[in-house]
Amino acid sequence: TFRNGIDVRLFRRSEAMRQPVAVLVGRFVEKKGGEYFLRALGLLRAQGLAVRGVMIGDGPLRPMLESLAREVGAYVEFTGFLPPPQVRERIGGASLVVVPSVTAADGDSEGLPTVILEAQAMSTPVVATRHAGNAEGVQEGRSALLVDERDVPALADAIRYFIEHPEAVASFGAAGRAFVETNFDIERQAA
């Protein structure tokens, strides 16, 4: 099979300290599940966990997401679109990347979001939903935690796990980097 590939050489984490931050990257459309990310952040804040979210991207749902963030008390930064080097820097400095994809009301769904591969290439753990190709792009329980679509408490618990366990961030991150080098390196795919 020919899989998605990325140039793993572009993705090298600096040894900068990671922050207790969860990052979402993508267009602000229904299938990206941004709503559930914000609800999970709000739930964690209500439970007393000060985790910061970063939403990198833009799209038609941005006004709705910004007002939802205020409504649920999510502590989140909306950056708009960023150039790839800045996206990589944000991913590499975070505790995890969240990919809460859902099947949209009109049936629209994801393939395998590239950010799943990019996060692992940056040695950053992934929390994703069991959706479309997401599971194929990770090693569940080793480089990523998977939750069901729209399950806000499970999403919140998975985010909490990485915020509270820096050693898990390191071990999942290392497993993800190795997994992507083996399975999704563009040069190996092309060969």
pLDDT digits (tens, 9 = 90+) for 43-76: 999 999 989 999 999 999 999 999 999 999 999 9
Specify the pLDDT at position 187.
74
CA atoms of 35 and 37, how far apart (whole Å): 5
Round the average pLDDT of the chain to a whole number and report it: 92
Q: CB count, 10 Å around CB of 73?
A: 14
State yes or no: pLDDT of 3 exceeds 60: no
Provide φ and ψ at 65, rounded to 5°.
Answer: -65, -40
H-type alpha helices, the chain: 34-46, 62-72, 84-92, 114-121, 152-164, 166-183, 186-190
Q: How would you list the strands of the sheet with 96-99, edge to edge?
A: 76-80, 52-56, 21-25, 96-99, 126-129, 144-147
Specify the pLDDT at position 27.
96
pLDDT digits (tens, 9 = 90+) for 116-160: 999 999 999 999 999 988 999 999 999 999 999 999 999 999 999
CA atoms of 57 and 68, how far apart (whole Å): 16
CA atoms of 84 and 103, how far apart (whole Å): 26
Q: pTM of this prediction?
A: 0.92
CA atoms of 173 and 122, how far apart (whole Å): 8
